[in-house]
Amino acid sequence: MKIELTEELKEEMKKLREEFANLKEQLKDVTEKERERKRGIHIDVGTNVREYIDDVMEGVAEGIHGELEKCVFIGPKGVKILRERPSHRREHQIEVSLPKVAVVMSALGHEHRLRILKELMSGGKYINELQEKLSEITTSTLSSHLDVLEEAGLVVQEKVRGRHLITIPGRTAYKMARRVTRFLERRDYK
């Protein structure tokens, strides 16, 4: 299959070269005539120029061949064309799970949990370190808040070390919550 494709490519390149040579000849005639008409100067396309154009054509051919090799996969089951879709199109195709949104928003909907996330933004912490920072929250309440945050995927706990860490979604959600609040305050939507 690969040999066939290479042969087809070679054939295409041969035709392109012939067309290009014809066009070059035509252009040469037109240019010569035009120049003769205007200034009476005759310029021959030298060997170096031809070589240069041939080199360019070779480069183009290699480029096309390289691109084909990248996007055409020839396997035991035949030829497969690999197409990479733009990322913004993929984003639109992802279904947003509303129950999941509700879980995340619910986890963010408590001042104590937001304060926990804020503390974790500066690095992972053991529960006693969090307790020191958030002394008004009892240990049992703190644990249940951490469970809610963990359930929503905003916080993860190291089972061996015991530290609690804010996850990438946790950071994003915390920043987003602050941005939304700032936006609402600025617009005075209360």
Partner 1 sequence: MIWQNYKLGNTISKTPEPVTLWKTERCIIEISSDTLAVPIKLDDEEKGYVLHGHGKLLLDAIVETGEGAIGKSIEKELDEPFLMLGDTKEMQEHFTESSKEDFAAMDYENQQEFLDKAEDLCSRFFREREHNHQSFDGDHGFIFAFPNEAENLDILVAKNSKLVYKAEDVVFVSNKDKVVLKSQGEVVCKNNGKSVVIKKDKSVIIKKTLF
Please report how close the Cβ of residue 98 comes to partner 1 at its closest, in angstroms: 23
**Rounded distance between C-alpha atoms, residue 41 and residue 180, angstroms:** 72
Computed from CA positions of residues 135, 139, 144, 148, in that sequence, does the dihedral angle turn out positive or negative? positive
Cβ closer to partner 1: 145 or 170? Answer: 170
* C-beta closer to partner 1: residue 37 or 88: 88
Distance CA 50, CA 24 (A): 10
8 Å CB contact between 120 and 170:
yes
Q: Who contacts 149 (Cβ-Cβ below 8 Å, separation ≥6)?
A: 107, 113, 116, 117, 155, 170
The minimum distance between CB 87 and partner 1, in angstroms, equals 6
Q: Which residues contact 35 (CB under 8 A, 6 or more apart)?
A: 41, 42, 43
**Shortest Å, Cβ 162 to partner 1:** 9
Q: What is the Rg, in whole angstroms, of the alpha carbon atoms belonging to the chain?
A: 33
Question: Of 118 and 171, which CB lies nearer to partner 1 in the complex structure?
Answer: 171
* Residue 3 or 168 with smaller CB distance to partner 1: 168
Q: How many CB atoms lie within 10 A of CB 149?
A: 27
Q: Quick check: helix, strand or coil at residue 73? A: strand
Binding site for partner 1 (CB under 8 A): 87, 90, 122-124, 156-161, 165-172
- Residue 48 CB, nearest distance to partner 1 (Å)? 43
Looking at the Cβ atoms of 24 and 124, the one nearer to partner 1 is 124
